[in-house]
Chains A and B, each alone.
Chain A
Amino acid sequence: MLYREALNNAIDEMMAADESVVILGEDVGRYGGSYRVSEGLFAKYGAKRVIDTPIAELSIVGNAIGMAIAGLRPIAEIMTVNFSLLALDQIINHAAKFRYMSGGKMTIPLTIRMPGGVSKQLAAQHSESYETIYTAIPGLIVLAASNATYAYYGLKAAIALNDPVIFLEHELLYPMKMEFKPQENFDPFKAEIVKEGKDLTIITYLKMRYDVLQAIPTIEQTLNITVEVVDLNSLRPLDMSTITQSIQKTKRVAIVEEDHKTGGYGAEVIARISEELFYELDAPPLRIAGQDVPIPYNRTLELASIPTPKKIAQKIIQWGRENGL
């Protein structure tokens, strides 16, 4: 199943099951979505529930909040996270805070979908990952779908949740063919153990999952170890219990993220681990992240600005050798 098809199925099924579910955003209707995620929905559910909006991100989210207050369950699509900055006020000052400010009287069942990350040569204004912003906001739930299975079940869960959810996707994943694994008792807040191992835990999410998996054979062969890979799925809340179990076993942890290193989401994860699992660690935690530069257009520079399988392997091997692996 294609990743984007998994998302499409999730939205389609939720819209079919519940009349109050609507989707709005730029080019989501007649055009079918700029990444084809909402393809076919306009024909099926009509203009009332599949809403083409003008280029007005603040209004897309603001309108969706109003719809949610009135009893709809809106899915707002922001074309990419880069443009969600225009909607930050609505997301942070309004969506995230209404429940709390109203003493629990207000409920905003809202899903805001947006893809991000470094695609291919889209340059500085189209290549950011802003999970670091959204995960810092109390009142928001932040989910990150790296695969078709989570895209499907996670998005359905997000739509069903009664709080605002930032649902992060990655531009390079949409056309990828992925295995779909049917789930029972799906928990959107549970991290996935992608691969078991006993000497090192690598935490990752979104597209970096695939880069990490490509680096694993080299790491395992060179250091003669086995590596456990944890895909977070949910960034806020963070599944500390899965992380704890893994680190208690492996005693070492590295996080691989695409976003800039300084103030990145990985910094938060490592801070939590340092606070809660300090005496489990047999080596200083390692962060592998994007460089602290805007993303350049040139392909070579672009690849130099983010982790790649080769760099991940190099850094982990070097760190492993320096720390008793």
Chain B
Amino acid sequence: MHSARVEKFYYLMKLGREFELAAKEQYMQGNIAGFLHLDIGQEACSVGSMQAFDKGDVFTHYREHVLAIARGMDPKLIMAELFGKVTGVSKGKGGSMHLFEPNLNFYGGDAIVAGHLPIAVGCAYARKIQGEKAGVFAIFGDGASNAGAFFESINIAAAWKLPLIFFCENNYYAIGTRIGWVSPFEELYNKARNFMPTKRIDGMDVCEVYKAVTQAKEYIENGLGPYFIEAETYRYEGHSMSDNGKYRSEEEIEIFKSRDPIINLKKRAIAEGLVTPEYFDEADQKVQKVIQEAIEFALNSPEPPINELYEDVYCKECTNVIP
């Protein structure tokens, strides 16, 4: 790995982690509400994948703040969205679960589990017939891999050889349901094995995620069809703010915490002499500054005006004819 790349990984993961912690704090203070799903522990998946998959289209579920940051979305605009402010990426109408930015080919922020997968398939189909090289990246959880939409999607994508990366974050739990209770196996690449190439990776290791996605990207760009990656990972927190996550044992949580993607990357980088220790201090400070700015921006931004309620239901032209 290039040291510059490692530095970027570290910075983005740290930024993601601190963003989530700040969001948690702001939620507890009442500035953020609704469902807030934190990515703490899973930063390597978001950052490694987006660093590798830097061009095509991205479809994601509701645990997407860090993915959006890694894709290049301004943390200020995300924090403002979480605060429900008009300056947020979705004008305060979407909230934490619904970050969209077509300019970054970032298409949500979908909170219906697995609902985005058939959509990603359709997009991949369009990219294929449009002759676009960069394909589509769809990220989802272990829970989503049980949905009918998932099975329909892997089948169609494989049947039509679509340029689509299925990236499954297997954190073993769908809210309080352990994957093994509702799936015959916990190694989920088995579900796609007969449809496309699959790979099970350590999702707590950002370099491994980066490498796997790079490889998958080359594969789909060559028109060979879809690719399935299962990343083993873990959320340290509960499913959302109202869940304590206590259906998991302390030991299990500790094991995964010992594999922390940020701490381990730092250790390795210093040991291998890739990055100087000073860099990390600088990065940490920069992160603090960015987060502080994001919160200030969100706090000081205005609420959406009341007429925003009726805007964006239809396109401008249609709004004129529909009362």
CA gap between A285 and B271 in the complex, in Å: 77
Cβ–Cβ contact A26 & B33, under 8 A: no
Contacts of B266 in A (CB 8 A): none
Cβ–Cβ contact A54 & B183, under 8 A: yes
CA gap between A305 and B34 in the complex, in Å: 16
Q: Which A299-313 residues sit within 8 Å CB-CB of chain B?
A: 299-301, 304-305
| Closest chain B residue, CB of each to CB of A59 | B148
Cβ–Cβ contact A301 & B93, under 8 A: yes
- What is the distance, in angstroms, from B242's C-beta to the closest C-beta of chain A? 9
Binary per-residue interface labels of chain A (42-68) against chain B in the complex, 1 for a CB within 8 Å, 0 otherwise: 000000000011111011000000000
With known contacts A34-B175, A126-B35, A54–B182 Cβ distance under 8 A: yes
Cβ–Cβ contact A122 & B92, under 8 A: no
Q: Does A320 contact B (CB under 8 A)?
A: no
With known contacts A59-B148, A293-B309, A299-B33, A125–B177 Cβ distance under 8 A: no
Contact of B177 (CB < 8 Å), options: A54, A292, A293, A296? A54
With known contacts A293-B310, A294-B313, A27–B175 Cβ distance under 8 A: yes
With known contacts A27-B176, A126-B111, A299-B33, A291–B310 Cβ distance under 8 A: yes
CA gap between A59 and B84 in the complex, in Å: 35
CA gap between A27 and B33 in the complex, in Å: 23
Interface residues on A, range: 35 or more
Q: Which A64-107 residues sit within 8 Å CB-CB of chain B?
A: 82-83, 86
Contact of A27 (CB < 8 Å), options: B34, B177, B183? B177
CA gap between A296 and B98 in the complex, in Å: 11
Cβ–Cβ contact A299 & B313, under 8 A: no
CA gap between A300 and B182 in the complex, in Å: 40
Q: Does B279 contact A (CB under 8 A)?
A: no
Contacts of B94 in A (CB 8 A): 123-124, 297
Cβ–Cβ contact B112 & A52, under 8 A: no
CA gap between A123 and B95 in the complex, in Å: 7
Contacts of A30 in B (CB 8 A): 176-177, 181, 247
Cβ–Cβ contact A52 & B182, under 8 A: yes
Cβ–Cβ contact A301 & B309, under 8 A: yes
- What is the distance, in angstroms, from A126's C-beta to the closest C-beta of chain B? 6
CA gap between A32 and B84 in the complex, in Å: 31
Stretch at the interface among B10-18, B69-77, B213-221, B300-308: B300-308
| Closest chain A residue, CB of each to CB of B93 | A296
Contact of B92 (CB < 8 Å), options: A59, A293, A301? A301
- What is the distance, in angstroms, from A125's C-beta to the closest C-beta of chain B? 5
Which B residues contact A (CB, under 8 angstroms)? 33-35, 81, 84-85, 90, 92-95, 97-98, 110-114, 143-144, 146-148, 174-177, 181-183, 247, 303-304, 306, 308-310, 313
Which A residues contact B (CB, under 8 angstroms)? 26-27, 30-32, 34, 52-56, 58-59, 82-83, 86, 120-126, 291-294, 296-301, 304-305
